[in-house]
Amino acid sequence: MTEAALLGTAEPSGRRARHLAGRTLELGPVDAVPIGEGRAYSIDGLTIAVFRPRDGRLYALENRCPHRGGPLADGIVGVGTVICPLHGWKFELASGRCLNDAATVRNYPVVLVDGRMLLLLEDDR
């Protein structure tokens, strides 16, 4: 049995994740996030944006821009960055660092196992 099968599955259509094994959440199939776009997932009152730039890698950031609360999942995904759709603040996907200001958004590790996205949360979230 695969690791993903042991962990269970989440509802991909509602883009809600659920806790699986400890601090791991399954977000659903990787195809739920089209290449070059982001999608928001609701996790225990927190919204996390998962991005899949054209290189196919996966990144996860807090979905709220610190400037005016813009939904980063709806932003423009570029080479290693996302641009907030409200006022154009640009964030590095790998670190959450803002390129326009001293602000940051939290980033989260996300991995691919058997075609399914797994989000790894830390204890202090």
Model pLDDT for residues 44-58, shown as the tens digit of each residue: 788 999 999 999 999
* 11/66: higher pLDDT: 66
pTM of the predicted model over 0.85: no
Q: Which residues contact 21 (CB under 8 A, 6 or more apart)?
A: 6, 7
Model pLDDT for residues 74-110, shown as the tens digit of each residue: 999 999 999 999 999 999 999 999 999 999 999 999 9
CA distance 72 to 85: 7
Domains of the chain, CATH where assigned: 3-120 (2.102.10.10)
Residue 9 C-alpha from the chain's centroid: 17
